[in-house]
Amino acid sequence: MWAFHTPQPTQPPSLFNPPRTPPKLPSSSLTLNPSISNSTPNHNQLIQSLCKQGDLKQAFKLLSREPNPSQRTYEVLILSCADQNSLSLAQSLHSHISENGFDQDPFLVTKLISMYAALDSLDDARKVFDKTRKRTIFVWNALFRALTLAGFGEEVLGLYRKMNRIGLPSDRFTYTYVLKACVASECMVSLLNKGKEIHAHILRHGLEGYVHIMTTLVDMYARFGCVAHASFVFEKMPVRNVVSWSAMMACYAKNGKPFEALELFREMMIETQDSAPNSVTMVSVLQACAALSALEQGKLVHAYILRRGLDSVLPVISALITMYARCGELELGQRIFDRMEKRDVVSWNSLISSYGLHGYGKKAMQIFQEMIHQGVSPSPITFVSVLGACSHAGLVEEGKKLFDSMRKEHGIHPSVEHYACMVDLLGRANRLEEAAKIIDEMRIEPGAKVWGSLLGSCRIHCNVELAERASHRLFQLEPHSAGNYVLLADIYAEAEMWDDVKRVRKLLETRSLQKVAGRSWIEVRRKMYSFVSVDEPNPQIELIQSLLIKLAAEMKEKGYSPQTKVVLYDLDESEKERILLGHSEKLAVAFGLINTKKGETIRITKNLRLCEDCHSFTKFISMFTNKEILVRDVNRFHHFQNGVCSCGDYW
Structural domain includes residue 634: yes
Give me the mean pLDDT over the 277-305 stretch.
Answer: 93
Q: What is the pLDDT of residue 186?
A: 66
Q: What is the pLDDT of residue 20?
A: 37
> What total number of domains does the chain contain?
1
Structural domain includes residue 477: no
Give me the mean pLDDT over the 112-135 stretch.
Answer: 95
- Full residue range of the structural domain in which residue 582 is found: 520-645
Structural domain includes residue 638: yes
Q: What is the mean pLDDT of the chain?
A: 88
Structural domain includes residue 459: no
Contacts with 580 (C-beta within 8 Å, 6 or more apart), sequence order: 562, 563, 564, 566, 567, 586, 613, 614, 617
Q: Is 522 left (phi over 0), alpha (psi -120 to 50) or beta?
A: beta
pLDDT at 563 over 80: yes
Cα(467)–Cα(464) distance, rounded to whole angstroms? Answer: 5
Q: What is the pLDDT of residue 18?
A: 41
Percent of the chain scored above 90 by pLDDT? 69
Give me the mean pLDDT over the 561-587 stretch.
Answer: 86
pLDDT in tens, 387-414: 999 999 999 999 999 999 999 999 999 9
- Say whether 522 sits in a helix, a strand or coil: strand
Q: How confident is the model at residue 274 (pLDDT cuts 50, 70, 90)?
A: low
Beta-carbon count within 10 A of 107 CB = 15
pLDDT at 23 over 60: no
Q: How confident is the model at residue 24 (pLDDT cuts 50, 70, 90)?
A: very low
Cα(261)–Cα(246) distance, rounded to whole angstroms? Answer: 9
pLDDT at 365 over 70: yes
Q: What is the pLDDT of residue 262?
A: 92
Q: What is the pLDDT of residue 535?
A: 62
Predicted TM-score (pTM) of the model is 0.79
Q: What is the pLDDT of residue 384?
A: 96
Cα(413)–Cα(415) distance, rounded to whole angstroms? Answer: 6
Lowest-pLDDT range of 17-26, 284-293, 569-578, 632-641: 17-26
Structural domain includes residue 18: no
Percent of the chain scored above 70 by pLDDT? 92
pLDDT at 35 over 70: no
pLDDT in tens, 145-156: 999 999 899 999
Q: How confident is the model at residue 586 (pLDDT cuts 50, 70, 90)?
A: very high
Q: What is the pLDDT of residue 270?
A: 86
Cα(531)–Cα(591) distance, rounded to whole angstroms? Answer: 10
Structural domain includes residue 620: yes
Structural domain includes residue 553: yes
Structural domain includes residue 559: yes
